[in-house]
């Protein structure tokens, strides 16, 4: 498994792949609290993308 890939995803106990939203490093003061919270939360991949990620992960 590639190191850069594993640093950017989280695999849950049930096997789902989660990722963080981009754009969270700086310039967040102008954004609403709702947008900031949404970026900090983990998001799940769509079914098709997750399938491609699993193939990539195992290569």
Q: What is the pLDDT of residues 6-28, one digit of tens each?
A: 788 888 898 888 988 887 878 88
Q: How many CB atoms sit inside 10 A of residue 42's CB?
A: 13
- Total structural domains within the chain: 1
Determine the structural domain holding residue 43 and report its residue range.
3-22+31-58
Task: Indicate whether 2 pLDDT > 80.
Answer: no
Q: How many CB atoms sit inside 10 A of residue 30's CB?
A: 6
């Amino acid at each position: 498994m590639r190191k850069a890939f594993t640093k950017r995803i989280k695999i849950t106990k049930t096997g789902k792949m989660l990722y963080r939203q981009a754009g969270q490093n700086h310039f967040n003061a102008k954004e609403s609290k709702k947008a900031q919270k949404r970026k900090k939360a983990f998001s799940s991949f769509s079914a098709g993308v997750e399938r491609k990620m699993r193939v990539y992960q195992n290569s």
